[in-house]
Amino acid sequence: MAWLYEIGVGKYFNQSQQENNATEFYNYFINYGATIEAICGMLGNITRESTINPGIKQGNSASLGWGLIQWTPSTVLTNWCKSYGYNWYDGAAQCERIKCEGEGTNGANGYWIPTSDYSYSWSEFIALTDVTETTKAYLYERERAGVEALDLRLQYANEWYSYFTGSPVPPIPPTPPLKLKRKMPIYMMLKRY
Q: What is the largest CA-CA distance in the chain?
A: 87
Class of residue 46 by CB neighbours under 10 A (exposed 0-12, middle 13-18, buried 19+):
buried
Which residue type, as a one-letter code, is found at position 166?
G
In which element (H, E) is residue 57 found? strand 56-57
Whole-number Å distance between alpha carbons of 135 and 104: 20
* Pair 145, 69: CB distance under 8 Å: no
Enumerate the β-bridge partners of residue 9: 57
Tally the residues of the chain: 193
State the Cα torsion 60-65-69-71 to the nearest 10°: 120
* Amino acid identity at 88: W
What amino acid positions are annotated as catalytic residues? 49
